[in-house]
Amino acid sequence: MAVGLSQVSSLLFVDDVIDVSTNCLDAEDSHDNAVLFSKKKKLPFSKKKCKSMVVNKKKNDPTPNLYIEEAKVDNVCNIVYLGDVFNNKGNNTDLIDDRIRRGTSALIQIEALIKETCLGIFTISVCLLLYRSLFLSCITFNSESWSKLLERDIHPIHCLQMKFLKKMVIAPKSVSNAFTCLEFGVLPIVYEVHKRKLNFLHHIIQMREDDPVKMMWENMRKFVDEKNWWTDVSAMLDKYGLKLESVSRSSRHVWNMKVAEAVEKVAFQQLVDECKSKSKTSSLNYEKFETQKYLLCLYPKQSNIIFQCRSKTLDIKQFREYKYQDSVCRRCGQEEEVLLHVVNCGHAEHLDVSVIDKLDVVDDSVKLQLIRVTMRIESCMDAVEAKEEMKN
């Protein structure tokens, strides 16, 4: 696709990345045009930063040797531009691998920090703070435009994100991802990527008309049937109810706020619908997209128990019928092992466990009730474990 007198193949390969071509002849021709373009516009290329990368090169094709003022341009297999990693195969493998590597490193550092620090009831609050400032930044905020991603591309990053969140409360893998996001008030990673791409659109529109990136974007808009970066972003504008005309009329801060609000609204509704479709979480109601209060005011072990009770993944017979042959309580051997009985097994005073499903506001009385409930559940599970160890 033409940009001035240079040839580039994507919105992302401009500036110091002077050549991304399909074969040796195209590479040399593109190089000459790019050098001529830079001289006319008085925009000299950096000898140190310029790279040459040929995509879809046939096995027997020679690798082109390009020069800038007698300095040879390095031929590479992948290029990092605006934080995104691109390779000569034309796929997103290197980009996703790079994001996974960064995210895993951040996850390990956060876990090490939390284990070495006694934070008490503030443990999960600090985890969420580090999630947004470190983990999420490593995966998304170091990348500007994001190339067009398929579902299989984003899936590994989404799995890493869910692994991080579930580790906060030591939840089993079987917990619904939608439920997890709603409890923590966290957007799935795909929506974070959408926000970045929509924010980058504002950056493009604010550029000068003769800027190569702006010109490339204008050219992309002419190819209606082609799948490219713009068609992907255009579909996002429709999905989130945003208008292209309002981008240029809004400041960067205002546009970012509009994008965040629109994406969160759509994501929240989709997560609630998915949660309602699951048999174990269909009874839960969510009014706002925010971190549930019990996660912020209870100790991690207590939060873990409440989290598993709400998601119906606690290791009791009521929630795991497939695992046991009968429903008799393993502690007393008399009544059915349901959550209400587990909380009150062996106690004269009975506690109401319906408070677990209604946690919009956690005042002092509700907090005290939750603490008593979790202590009784923990005591019952410990007694069952000790009894089973004696049998073995």
Question: Over the stretch 63-76, which tens digit does the pLDDT of each residue have?
Answer: 777 777 777 877 88
Residues 307 and 281: beta-carbon distance below 8 Å: no
Rama region for 148: left / alpha / beta (φ>0; ψ in -120 to 50; rest): beta
**Residue 231 sits in the same domain as residue 149:** no
Contact 281, 313 (CB under 8 A): no
CB count in 10 Å sphere of residue 14: 20
Q: Does residue 303 belong to any structural domain of this protein?
A: no
Distance CA 370, CA 294 (A): 9
Question: Do 202 and 247 reside in the same domain of the chain?
Answer: yes
Do 98 and 169 belong together in one domain? Answer: yes
Residue 168 to residue 299: CA distance in whole angstroms = 11
Say what the pLDDT of residue 92 is: 81
26 belongs to a structural domain: yes
For residue 249, how many C-alpha atoms fall within 13 Å in the half-sphere facing its CB?
A: 6
Least confident range from 31-35, 83-87, 130-134, 254-258: namely 31-35
Number of domains in the chain: 4
- Domain end point (choices 87, 117, 143): 87
> pLDDT band for position 272 (50/70/90)?
very high
Given 72, 87, 102, the domain boundary residue is 87
Place of tokens 């005290």: 368
Tens of pLDDT along 341-384?
999 998 888 998 888 887 766 788 888 999 999 999 999 999 99
Q: What is the pLDDT of residue 18?
A: 44
For residue 289, tell me if it sits in a domain.
Answer: no
- At residue 46, the pLDDT reads 66
**Phi, psi torsion values for 62, nearest 5 degrees:** -75, 150
Residue 87 — very low, low, confident or very high, per pLDDT cuts 50/70/90?
Answer: confident
Q: 81 has which bridge partners? A: 84
Percent of residues, the chain, with pLDDT higher than 90: 42
Same domain? 62 vs 103:
no
Residue 282 lies in a domain: no
- Do 103 and 183 belong to one domain? yes
Q: At what angle do helices 123-130 and 300-310 cross, to 10 degrees?
A: 80
Residues 99 and 177 in one domain: yes
What is the reported pTM? Answer: 0.80
Q: In this structure, is residue 284 part of a structural domain? A: no
Domain boundary among 162, 188, 214: 188
Q: Say if residue 169 is in the same domain as residue 242.
A: no
How far is residue 172 CA from its own chain's centroid? 19
Least confident of 21-25, 34-38, 53-57, 88-92: 21-25
Domain coverage including residue 62 = 2-87
Q: What is the reported pLDDT for 1?
A: 38
Domain co-membership, 337 together with 378: yes
pLDDT of residue 41: 63
Residue-wise pLDDT for 26-83, tens only, equals 666 666 766 666 666 666 666 677 777 777 666 777 777 777 777 787 788 887 766 6
pLDDT digits 0-9 by tens, 134-193: 999 888 876 667 877 888 889 999 999 999 999 999 888 889 999 999 999 999 999 999
User: Do residues 263 and 209 both lie within one domain?
Assistant: yes
Task: pLDDT band for 273, please (50, 70, 90 cuts).
Answer: very high
**Is the same domain home to 169 and 104?**
yes
Same domain for 127 and 72: no
Judged against a pLDDT cut of 50, whether residue 222 lies above it is answered with yes
Rounded average pLDDT over 312-318: 93
3-state helix, strand, coil in the chain (%, to 5): 55, 5, 40
Distance CA 82, CA 16 (A): 11
Average the pLDDT over 8-19 and give the result: 41
Element at 86 (helix H, strand E): strand 84-87
Three-state secondary-structure class, residue 148: coil
56-60, 201-205, 217-221: range with highest mean pLDDT: 201-205
> Does 269 share its domain with 199?
yes
Instruction: Indicate whether 72 belongs to any domain.
Output: yes
Amino acid 295 reads: L
Order of all β-strands in the sheet with 51-54: 17-21, 51-54, 74-75
Do the domain assignments include residue 306?
no
22 φ, ψ (degrees, to nearest 5):
-95, -20
Residue 14 clears pLDDT 50, i.e. is over it: no
Residue 295 falls inside a structural domain: no
